[in-house]
Amino acid sequence: MTEVSSLTGRLLVATPALADPNFDRAVVLLIDHDDKGSLGVVLNRPTAVGVDQILAPWAELAGAPGVVFRGGPVSQDSALGVAVVPGAAPVGERVGVGPMGWRQVHGAIGLVDLDAPPELLAAALGSLRIFAGYAGWGPGQLEEELNEGAWYVVESEPGDVSSPRPEGLWREVLRRQRSGLAMIATYPDDPSLN
């Protein structure tokens, strides 16, 4: 897959028609997308479990709310750390630049090696979120869902990873679009009540 066709670093925003309860009004950051499949984390599913209960060494670096997020329905017993490193070079420029223990995904957004000592990254991180599980698609599966109209694809912003109001992220991301998508943000939670 060419770099131009890769959706890595972009957001998948669930359309109101998406029927899968795992992704109802979900905003997914795509961490990897190529001809082998796709992997992402749902940014707007906070749990009641504190980061200090699961990964205590990382708790002080985790942004508010300091909870673990449900990253998706796959491998919920595993954890992924997604962090923003302010001032990170655009992908392709100065490859490999960034703090040790952080791998750039897109712009200032990257993955954290949760086995690394947190103090290696503490000074460089702007924000950190911990995700239990992830969303995954096999080869061609995401493209099929896109063709069926299940997802809107939009650009991500570093603040999406650390939104202080994750439950409102679906509307917030749609509202900032400069197209007809902004109107979708007003779609009622239950259209049958209209």
* pLDDT tens, residue by residue, 151-176: 999 999 989 999 999 999 999 999 99
pTM over 0.85: yes
* Among the listed residues 131, 102, 139, the one whose alpha carbon sits nearest the alpha carbon of residue 117: 102
- Residue 2: its pLDDT value, please? 35
81-109: pLDDT as tens digits = 999 998 765 555 545 567 889 999 999 99
Residue 180 near residue 43 (C-beta atoms within 8 A) = no
123-142: pLDDT as tens digits = 999 899 999 999 999 999 99
Task: Please give the Cα distance from 119 to 8 (Å, whole number).
Answer: 28
Residue 110 near residue 161 (C-beta atoms within 8 A) = no
String of DSSP letters for 58-124: GGGGSPSS-EEEE--SEEEEEEEEEEE-TTPPPTTSSTT-S-TTEEEEETTEEEE-TTS-GGGTTTT
Residue 72 near residue 22 (C-beta atoms within 8 A) = yes
CA neighbours closer than 13 Å in the CB half-sphere of residue 160: 30
Q: Is a pLDDT exceeding 60 seen at residue 37?
A: yes
Residue 95 near residue 74 (C-beta atoms within 8 A) = no
Torsion of CA 59, 23, 8, 121, to 10 degrees: 0
Q: How much is the average pLDDT of 31-52?
A: 96
Q: How much is the average pLDDT of 20-40?
A: 95
Task: Please give the Cα distance from 29 to 43 (Å, whole number).
Answer: 7
* Among the listed residues 109, 145, 130, the one whose alpha carbon sits nearest the alpha carbon of residue 15: 145
- Residue 4: its pLDDT value, please? 36
Residue predicted with more confidence, 3 or 84: 84
pLDDT band at 6 (very low <50, low <70, confident <90, very high): confident
